[in-house]
């Protein structure tokens, strides 16, 4: 795989579910920063305290863990659509959000939106849009797996109804069927390169060839499912191989994510360009990513871009 | 219920911010302060403003003159914002602006902040403790602060902060002093270190020195600062041992400890080191000097 030692941002990665091997490979493949949207954890939570500790871990331990591998970790904080359906719990989570969404390194309210498109989902989506508007923060919107096109359009219309600028909204998990509607309305269109379901990266190459690079963003959404934390660098490599220019690849695999989420005022290129070394001797609340007998890595991390195949179908 | 006149400390902090922050930043803060002073219920405006402070106010160090530092001392004995940053000062102003006539409501909001705080927020909260209303209600929280392993949070609660000396009970105070040595931070920056010294602490520190010596490790000369006034038949052996160490700074610490003591053998030991005694009498050799030299040697 060849990526010309380019730098990448993965603006959608659920690192809580990933291992240190993933962090190591991501950094070697050129990922310098990533954004972890708050989402569900595979099964519904039953207590508000679980959300509080989850949010705390996104701004605390997970950020530290990433730093140990030379990656800057940011997050978006929100009540996801699936768990919005438990209304008594949702009410309590809504009370927690103002404590978290403006913290350092939080780059938006997310991922929020629709799943089954129920009345409860709609209610908490709207409340969170208002919160984002009040805090002047970008919004990261999850679009549904089922009845996707309707849900995508509805989420944009509701955003506009609440007076949110399209440029402050990142619509995620797009495909060939939704991209035009999203771009035409002036929203950011993110694509999740996720094996066997959302998008393959050969399709992604064709999308960029057809629609160009303006407001298009590539991410991995790697999580606890079968997913690939190297989706962004692999897609970049495939794009270069298939004749897309390096400047265009940089736009969709780095710059657009920075421009969109940088509107939070919480994410700057200097955050990682000025700090390129790691020190695994550091500790967070006396915890280390190292276990007995492991030797800490101290110093610069090299990008090698060495991977067996760059195609994700 | 007050440690400080809030009506006086607010304009003081605002003036410090005016000296360094951009006009837009001050405008933002003024708007938020107005909102927070009128807030009620869920405290949403307060939490949003408190957490987003670095985004609007930055994190530059405040620039305090000697007169500013004297003014801080006048407003609250021991209050020392010399190492404060703009985000800290702004966050402190927000807390002091929060309505606090309803004690339970005020404490609920502050405790919620603590339990969800990130590192920068914890630093601001702990350093603001000597200014908060209802100081008696933050003792357990302060003790939690020095259980942290985050270095800058530890410094915010333990160093240059008059709250622990004024409010912690003896057991908690002693733990704090011991941990400060344990994590290699300077004792001379603990406010009230001499005033709160006690016999129990002196023996805890003596035991700790023995542990270090048994392991072949060095002992900070600052350790003996709270020990001096409580030299007795047990501790005098430690002092004799200090005079036998090769490093001059250990002799200086031993002499300073003796100078604080009325134990006869300690006075004799001091007499046997007339040069050190002269330096102490002239005010040249002090515990603060030992502290500063120890700190400089670490770097």
Q: Do A100 and B51 touch (CB under 8 A)?
A: yes
* A115-139 confidence digits (pLDDT tens): 999 999 999 999 999 999 999 999 9
Instruction: Write down the pLDDT at residue A291.
Output: 65
Structure confidence at residue A251 (pLDDT): 98
- The fraction of chain A above a pLDDT of 90, given in percent, is 81
Domain ranges (residues) in chain A? 8-266
Whole-number Å distance between alpha carbons of B260 and B195: 12
Architecture of A8-266 per CATH? Alpha-Beta Barrel (3.20)
Interface touch B51/A55, C-beta < 8 Å: no
Alpha carbons B161 and B142: distance in angstroms, whole number: 11
Residues 6+ apart with CB under 8 A from A48: A89, A92, A93, A95, A96
Q: How many CB atoms lie within 10 A of CB A158?
A: 17
- Is the dihedral angle over the CA atoms A199, A202, A207, A208 positive or is it negative? positive
Q: Which of B52, B116, B148 has the CB atom closest to A135's CB atom?
A: B52
A99, closest residue in chain B (CA to CA): B47
In the block, residue with structure tokens 């309505």: B99
- Print pLDDT tens along chain B (299 aa): 899 999 999 999 999 999 999 999 999 999 999 999 887 656 888 999 999 999 999 999 999 999 999 999 999 999 999 999 999 999 999 999 999 999 999 999 999 999 999 989 999 999 999 999 999 999 999 999 988 878 889 999 999 999 999 999 999 999 999 999 999 999 999 999 999 999 999 999 999 999 999 999 999 999 999 999 999 999 999 999 999 999 999 999 999 999 999 999 999 999 999 999 999 999 999 999 999 999 999 87
pLDDT in tens, A68-114: 999 999 999 999 999 999 999 999 999 999 999 999 999 999 999 99
C-beta of residue B273 within 8 angstroms of C-beta of residue B243 = yes
What is residue B134's DSSP assignment?
Answer: S
When pLDDT is averaged across residues A149-174 and rounded to a whole number, the result is 97
**Residue B29 exposure: Cα atoms within 13 Å on the Cβ side:** 30
What is the reported pLDDT for A96? 95
B31 reaches A (C-beta below 8 A):
no
**Pick from B52, B115, B118: which is nearest to A59 by CB?**
B118
**Cα gap A250→A255, rounded to integer Å:** 6
The predicted pLDDT at position A198 comes to 73
Contact list, A99 vs chain B (CB under 8 Å): 47, 51, 112-113, 116
Residues of chain B contacting residue A52, judged by C-beta atoms under 8 Å apart: 115-116
A286 against B72, higher pLDDT = B72
Average pLDDT of A279-292?
Answer: 68
Closest among A131, A174, A134, A137 to A155, alpha carbons compared: A174
Do residue B51 and residue A286 have CB atoms under 8 angstroms apart? no
Residue in chain A lying closest to B55 (CA): A265
Please give the span between the terminal C-alpha atoms of chain B, in angstroms, as a whole number.
Answer: 41
- The pTM assigned to this predicted structure is 0.84
B264 Cβ contact list (under 8 Å, min separation 6): none
The answer, for B171 touching chain A at a CB cutoff of 8 Å, is no
Q: How far is B58 from chain A (nearest CA, A)?
A: 11
Chain A residue nearest residue B146, CA to CA: A285
Residues A216-231: tens digit of each pLDDT:
999 999 999 999 999 9
Q: What is the pLDDT of residue A276?
A: 59
Query: What mean pLDDT is reported for chain A?
Result: 92
**Spatial distance between the Cα atoms of A218 and A207, rounded to a whole number of angstroms:** 11
Return d(Cα A280, Cα B30) in angstroms, integer. 41
Residues in chain A with CB shorter than 8 Å from the CB of B121 are 103
Inter-chain CB proximity B118 and A99 less than 8 Å: no
Q: Is B121 on the interface with A (CB under 8 A)?
A: yes
DSSP-derived 3-state class of residue B31 = helix
Are the Cβ atoms of A101 and B150 closer than 8 angstroms?
no
A59 to chain B, any CB pair closer than 8 A? The answer is yes
Spatial distance between the Cα atoms of A264 and A33, rounded to a whole number of angstroms: 15
Contact A96 B116 (CB under 8 A): yes
Sign of the alpha-carbon dihedral angle for B183, A278, A273, B53: negative
pLDDT at A308: 65
* Contact between B116 and A56 using a beta-carbon 8 Å cutoff: yes
With an 8 Å Cβ cutoff, is B148 touching chain A?
yes
- What does residue A76 show for φ and ψ, rounded to 5 degrees? -115, 150
Task: Please answer yes or no on whether B149 and A265 come within 8 Å at the CB atom.
Answer: no
| Better-scored residue on pLDDT, A292 or A300 | A300
CA torsion sign for B63, B66, B70, B76 is: positive
Whether the pLDDT of residue A287 is over 80: the answer is no
Interface of A with B in 267-306 (CB under 8 A): 283-286
Which range, of A211-215, A271-275, B240-244, averages the lowest pLDDT?
A271-275
Question: Is A104 an 8 Å CB contact of chain B?
Answer: yes
Answer whether B118 sits within 8 Å of A285, measured CB to CB: no
pLDDT on residue A34? 98
Of the partner residues A55, A265, A283, the one whose CB lies closest to the CB of residue B55: A265
Interface membership of A49 toward B (CB under 8 Å): no
What pLDDT does A274 receive?
A: 85
């Amino acid at each position: 795989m060849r990526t010309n030692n380019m730098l990448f941002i993965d603006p959608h990665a659920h690192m809580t579910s990933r291992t240190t091997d993933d962090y190591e490979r991501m950094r070697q493949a050129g990922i310098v920063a990533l954004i972890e949207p708050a989402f569900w954890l595979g099964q519904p939570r039953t207590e508000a305290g679980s959300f509080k500790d989850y949010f705390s871990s996104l701004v605390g331990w997970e950020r530290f863990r990433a730093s140990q591998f030379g990656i800057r970790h940011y997050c978006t904080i929100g009540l996801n659509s699936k768990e919005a359906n438990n209304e008594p719990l949702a009410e309590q989570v809504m009370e927690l959000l103002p404590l978290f969404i403006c913290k350092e390194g939080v780059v938006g309210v997310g991922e929020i939106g629709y799943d089954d498109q129920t009345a409860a989902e709609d209610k908490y989506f709207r409340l969170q849009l208002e919160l984002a508007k009040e805090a002047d923060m970008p919004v990261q919107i999850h679009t549904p797996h089922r009845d996707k096109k309707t849900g995508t359009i509805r989420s944009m219309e509701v955003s506009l109804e609440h007076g949110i600028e399209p440029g402050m909204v990142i619509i995620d998990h797009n495909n060939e069927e939704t991209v035009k509607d999203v771009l035409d309305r002036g929203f950011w269109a993110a694509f999740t390169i996720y094996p066997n379901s959302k998008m393959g990266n050969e399709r992604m190459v064709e999308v960029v060839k057809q629609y160009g690079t303006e407001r298009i963003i590539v991410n991995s959404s790697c999580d606890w499912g079968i997913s690939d934390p190297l989706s962004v660098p692999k897609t970049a490599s495939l794009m270069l191989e298939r004749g897309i220019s390096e400047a265009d690849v940089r736009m969709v695999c780095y710059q657009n994510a920075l421009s969109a989420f940088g509107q939070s005022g919480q994410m700057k290129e200097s955050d990682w360009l000025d700090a390129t070394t790691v020190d695994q001797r550091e500790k967070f609340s006396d915890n280390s990513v190292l276990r007995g007998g492991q030797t800490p890595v101290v110093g610069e991390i090299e990008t090698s871009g060495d991977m067996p195949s760059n195609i994700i179908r | 219920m007050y440690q400080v006149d809030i009506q006086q400390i607010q304009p003081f902090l605002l003036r410090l911010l005016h000296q360094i922050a951009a006009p837009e930043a001050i405008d933002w803060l003024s708007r938020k302060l107005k909102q927070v002073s009128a807030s009620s219920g869920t405290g949403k405006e307060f939490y949003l403003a408190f957490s987003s402070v670095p985004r609007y106010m930055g994190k530059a160090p405040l620039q305090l003159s000697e007169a500013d530092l004297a003014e801080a001392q006048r407003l609250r004995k021991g209050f020392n914002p010399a190492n404060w940053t703009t985000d800290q000062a702004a966050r402190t102003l927000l807390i002091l602006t929060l309505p606090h006539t309803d004690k339970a409501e005020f404490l609920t909001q502050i405790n919620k902040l603590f339990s969800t705080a990130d590192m920068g927020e914890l630093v601001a909260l702990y350093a603001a403790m000597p200014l908060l209303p209802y100081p008696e209600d933050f003792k357990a929280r302060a003790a939690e602060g020095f259980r942290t392993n985050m270095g800058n949070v530890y410094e915010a609660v333990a160093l240059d902060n008059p709250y622990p000396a004024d409010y912690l009970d003896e057991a908690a105070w002693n733990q704090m002093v011991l941990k400060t040595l344990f994590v290699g931070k300077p004792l001379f920056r603990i406010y009230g270190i001499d005033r709160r010294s006690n016999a129990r602490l002196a023996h805890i520190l003596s035991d700790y020195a023995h542990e270090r010596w048994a392991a072949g490790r060095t002992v900070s000369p600052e350790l003996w600062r709270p020990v001096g006034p409580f030299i007795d038949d047990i501790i005098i052996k430690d002092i004799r041992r200090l005079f036998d160490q090769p490093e001059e700074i250990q002799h200086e610490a031993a002499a300073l400890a003796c100078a604080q003591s009325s134990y006869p053998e300690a006075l004799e030991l001091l007499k046997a080191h007339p040069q050190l005694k002269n330096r102490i009498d002239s005010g040249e050799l002090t515990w603060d000097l030992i502290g500063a030299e120890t700190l400089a040697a670490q770097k």
